[in-house]
Chains A and B, each alone.
Chain A
Amino acid sequence: MSTLVKSRLKTFVGGIHPEDDGKLLTKGKREVSAPLPKAVYLFMSQHIGAPCKPIVKEGDMVKKGQLVGEAQGFVSANVHASISGKVVDVAPWPHPITGIKSPAVIIERTEDDSWIEGVNENFDIDHISPDEIKQRIQSAGIVGLGGATFPTHVKLTPPKDKVIDTVVMNGTECEPYLTCDYWLMLDKPHEIIQGLKFIMKCLGCKRAHIGIEANKEDVYNLFKDVLSNEPQIKIDLMEVKYPQGAEHQLIKALLNREFKPTQLPLEVGAIVINVGTVFAVYEAVKFKKPLIERLVTVTGNGVENPQNFLVRLGTPIKQLLEEAKATAAINKIIFGGPMMGIAQGNIDAAVTVKGTGGILVLKDARQWQSHACIRCGRCIDSCPYGLNPSELSIMCEAKEFNLAIENNVMECKECGCCSYICPSKRPIVHLIKFAKAEIAKQKVKV
């Protein structure tokens, strides 16, 4: 790409360019359905907000798509059976994100794989009302599939005094290694645009804006064609830079609006929604299909056959690793991408959840020896939120939490740019996460 074209790409200030983005491992791998799991482990908490209440008990027979966990309160999201079978237990299981045991419905598969009645049928959607759209999204248990897992129906219910004028769809997929959004966009452009229109209709919002990173120019060209008669939906090619897909950076680059890290995009009249979520919305509204499966990139140098899999929620990753031919020498398994993903400690217990867009399997993962900060300032240059990670990490290390709060530690989004770029290999994000947890504990005490 010529520099002239590059200079026209939209982007933000700060961020990093990871040297090896690992996308080539799976960029040529169209998604395939993973074999059905023998059993699934459905956590009652796969979203931000109150955990669901299990409404099935041991011995119950359930059908695919049947509600097994009922949302508790508004900020919560339903959980549905992802396979048909028999509930063998409702018990705590080690959660792959929090690391602690939390309640899960465990279903063993029976032979048939048919849907429960009333879902996955073709509905007439021409005259659907905004409220009906939101109702279908809510009952389908859709959450932000980019990894944040915020319940989507809550996002679509802005406070009365806030007007949303633009829906921003995140098609950047800026996390290294992941390509599942890329394949979703290549395969389902019409469905995604329809889903985006549902969201616009639901919000009563006239405009939408799509951001695609320049390493997916084929997707950009495809969407340009699909959108040729849709002037209300704009699409832009963006610089390949991490974290281009984060809400603040995406809105800054596309709409040139700024808001504080702890604020939500609705402060500036926008919402950001991931392309995977938009597709789930399409299926929920058009077919009343609950969220029971998603695309997962299984990749990294620890697998011989990296793939994009269509995976039922709650599938044990052991099965996916077998399918991707994991080598014996793996020493790190990460849920998500390498920048913000969560390392797993228990290969036997780990199962996919709604927010799992990638499983990164590494065989030579390093541990770095950290050194005193040499004040090079690279972390400050790379921080997209205008923080001083250098000083924050020193404050957090010294447990000077009040000082850290004064210096906006709570505004950190933990994107990982500072730790990535640090030549002293300081575990900056680790220290900040530690401080945040300690501060939260202190608040509870008071």
Chain B
Amino acid sequence: MQEKASTSNQTQSNNTLIVSASPHIRDTESIPTIMWAVVLSLIPAGIAGVFTFGFYCLYVIILSCITAVITEVFILLLRKLPVLNTIKDGSAVVTGILLAYTLPPSVPWYIPVVGSFFAVAIAKHAFGGLGNNIWNPALAARAFLQVAYPAVINSDWRTLTQHGMHKLIHNIAQIDAEGKLVDAVTRATPLAKEAGAETYHLAQLFVGNIPGCIGETSAIALLLGGMYLIYKRHIKWYAPAYYIATVFVMVLILPPQVATPWIKNPFYHIFAGGLFLGAFFMSTDMVTSPLTKRGLIIFAIGCGILTALIRFYSGYPEGVCYSILLMNTATPLIDRFTKPRLYGTKGKKA
């Protein structure tokens, strides 16, 4: 019988049974399905952006994506990692789109190129690649651009209109008192605080017929994409909900420094600027936000408080980008203090 046992061990090499640890079935969701769903959910905002600002935006978005993908290939080759599978997961495309959405509609071509390169090469791969980055790559790149090219990002964008966008924007162009063409959409953001800044109807803010960055103006398009992701359970509803609600409450309780008429209107703050884009697509970035529900709520409230503080008391009109980056930095700390409670230790020390 001993011999019999050994012969059966030999036949073992002939069959090709897979031996692996349980479980033997896996969910169909994977990194690619999540990332491509995010890409899909970002399309409405992109369409709104192109419709509002013109086809030049589309070039910016595509250029940003292509640079992101090429950079990813380049870095993966440098790091001697599998290229094709990683490209197919779509994470570079998401970064490219998100970065383009945070840029002014009329940026020169090199801005998305430099930004995308920075996002993928520095903000993502220098920290270890997808899953190990500390800051949201798109936002880190946006902050980098803001420091590196302040004239392009911050200035009154009327000076940049010669780049030949706006064929489609005549519908919201306004003629001011002296008969000079004032192009509404050329201002940086409806949140601008200097005297004489235009104020917009809430409906206008909601639809997105307002100045701003490529992908941030249309609240309804962003909401649509965000709802899709919540429905698909790729993002948790409480992150954007707590973020937006916190901004709302903060606007009501903070004393303003400037006297612009809209400054105390919470709805205006919610729909104008990059809050929807940030709340639905950046504060929900899985890699750079806390792991647990409690952690994510703390994270979202922190983002909301910082956004309101920056908008009210800093030189910047907009605070979404820096608030999320700052809370990204705090994520490991939040994780440390919001560990899940071991089952069966309620009311006891774990």
| A interface with B by C-beta (< 8 Å) | 16, 18-20, 88-89, 91-94, 101, 106, 176, 248, 258-261, 263, 330-334, 336, 338-349, 360, 362, 365-369, 371-377, 380-381, 383-388, 390-391, 407-408, 411, 414, 416, 419-425, 427, 429-430, 433
B292 partner residues in chain A, CB cutoff 8 A: 377, 380, 388
Interface of chain B residues 316 through 350 with chain A (CB within 8 A): 339-346, 350
Least CB separation from A349: chain B residue: B8
Instruction: Report yes or no: A18 in contact with B5, Cβ–Cβ below 8 A.
Output: no
In the complex, which residues of chain B have a beta carbon less than 8 angstroms from the beta carbon of A427? 20-21
A371 touches B22 (CB 8 A): no
For B201-236 the 0/1 string (1 means CB < 8 A from A) is 000000000000000000000000000000000001
Please state if B21 and A433 are interface contacts (CB–CB under 8 Å): yes
List 9 A-B residue pairs with CB atoms under 8 Å apart, sorted by A's residue number. A18-B25, A334-B24, A342-B22, A343-B20, A347-B17, A419-B22, A419-B23, A423-B30, A423-B34
**A420 contacts B9, CB within 8 Å?**
no
Q: Decide: A339 and B25 in contact? CB cutoff 8 A.
A: yes
B24, A374: Cβ atoms closer than 8 Å: no
For B286-312 the 0/1 string (1 means CB < 8 A from A) is 111111110010000000000000000
Q: Which of these binds chain A: B43-51, B69-77, B126-134, B260-268? A: B126-134
Residue of B nearest to A360 (CB): B24
- Known contacts A333-B17, A411-B342; 18 additional CB pairs below 8 A are A18-B25, A91-B5, A101-B5, A248-B344, A261-B342, A334-B24, A339-B22, A340-B22, A346-B8, A347-B17, A375-B286, A375-B289, A377-B286, A386-B342, A416-B23, A425-B26, A427-B20, A429-B23
State the Cβ distance, A94 to closest chain B Cβ, in Å. 8
- The smallest C-beta distance from B215 to any residue of chain A, in angstroms, reads 22
| A-B residue pairs, 5 tightest by C-beta | A372-B131, A416-B23, A89-B1, A430-B21, A260-B344
Within 8 Å CB of A391, what residues of B?
Answer: 291
Which residues of chain B are near A377, meaning CB under 8 Å? 236, 286, 290-293, 296
**B171: interface (CB < 8 Å):** no
Q: Is the CB of A423 within 8 A of B27?
A: yes
**A423 with B33: in contact, given A349-B8, A380-B292 (CB under 8 Å)?**
yes
Find chain B residues with CB under 8 A from A92 CB: 5
Tell whether, in the assembled complex, residue A388 and residue B339 are in contact, meaning their CB atoms are under 8 Å apart: yes
Asked if B15 is at the interface (CB within 8 A of a chain A CB), the reply is: yes
Residue in A106, A349, A411, A421 whose beta carbon sits within 8 Å of that of B9 in the complex: A349
Q: When the two chains form their complex, are residues B20 and A383 in contact, meaning their CB atoms are under 8 A apart?
A: no
Interface centre among B131, B292, B346 (most CB of A within 10 A): B131
Report the Cα distance A333→B16, complex, angstroms: 11
Q: How far is the CB of B167 from chain A (nearest CB, A)?
A: 40
Q: Which residues on the B side are within 8 Å of A88 (C-beta)?
A: 1
Taking a contact as CB atoms under 8 Å apart, the answer to whether A91 and B27 are in contact is no
CB-defined contacts of A419 to chain B, threshold 8 Å: 22-23, 26
Task: Report chain B residues within 8 Å CB of A340.
Answer: 22-23
Distance in angstroms from A137 CB to nearest chain B CB is: 29
B344 touches A375 (CB 8 A): no
Q: How far is the CA of A407 from the CA of B290 in the complex (A)?
A: 17
From B11, B26, B291, give the contact of A368 (CB < 8 A).
B26
Asked whether B24 lies within 8 Å of A386 as measured between CB atoms, the reply is: no
Q: Say whether B257 faces chain A, with CB atoms less than 8 Å apart.
A: no
Cβ of A338 and Cβ of B23 under 8 Å apart? yes
Q: Please measure, in the bound complex, the distance between the C-alpha atom of A372 and the C-alpha atom of B24, giving whole angstroms.
A: 20
Cβ of B291 and Cβ of A388 under 8 Å apart?
yes
Q: What distance in Å separates the Cβ of B335 from its nearest Cβ neighbour in chain A? A: 8
The residue from B1, B12, B30, B342 contacting A385, defined by CB atoms under 8 A apart: B342
B11 touches A348 (CB 8 A): yes
Q: Are A388 and B26 in contact (CB under 8 A)?
A: no
| A420 near B343: Cβ-Cβ < 8 Å | no
Partner of A374, one of B1, B19, B131: B131
CA distance A330 to B28 in the complex (A): 22
Query: CB within 8 A of A343: which of B24, B26, B34?
Result: B24
Is B85 at the interface (CB under 8 A from chain A)?
yes
**When chains A and B are docked, how far (Å) is the Cα of A206 from the Cα of B312?**
67
Indicate whether B2 reaches chain A with its CB closer than 8 angstroms: yes
CA distance A386 to B344 in the complex (A): 9
Q: Residue of B at shortest CB range from A300?
A: B24
**Bound complex: CA A258 to CA B341 (Å):** 13
CB within 8 Å of A: which B110-159 residues: 128-132
Chain A residues positioned under 8 Å from B176 (CB to CB): none
Task: Give Cα A330–Cα B17 distance, bound, in whole angstroms.
Answer: 8
B130 near A408: Cβ-Cβ < 8 Å: no
What is the minimal beta-carbon distance from B297 to any residue of chain A, in angstroms? 12
- Residues of chain A with a CB closer than 8 A to B23's CB: 338-340, 416, 419-420, 429
Shortest CB–CB separation between residue A394 and chain B, in angstroms?
10
For B128, list chain A residues within 8 Å (CB).
372
> Which of A338, A345, A387 lies in contact with B12, CB distance below 8 A?
A345
The answer to the question of B29 belonging to the interface, with a C-beta cut-off of 8 Å to chain A, is yes
Q: Are B26 and A261 in contact (CB under 8 A)?
A: no
- Interchain CA distance A384-B23 in the complex, whole Å: 15
CA distance A331 to B8 in the complex (A): 18
Residue-wise, chain B 184-214 has the 8 Å CB interface mask toward A (1 for contact) of 0000000000000000000000000000000
CA gap between A20 and B131 in the complex, in Å: 29
Q: Which residue of chain A has its CB nearest to the CB of B82?
A: A369
Give the complex CA separation of A135 and B17 in angstroms: 42
> A380 and B340 in contact (CB under 8 A), knowing A423-B33, A429-B22?
yes
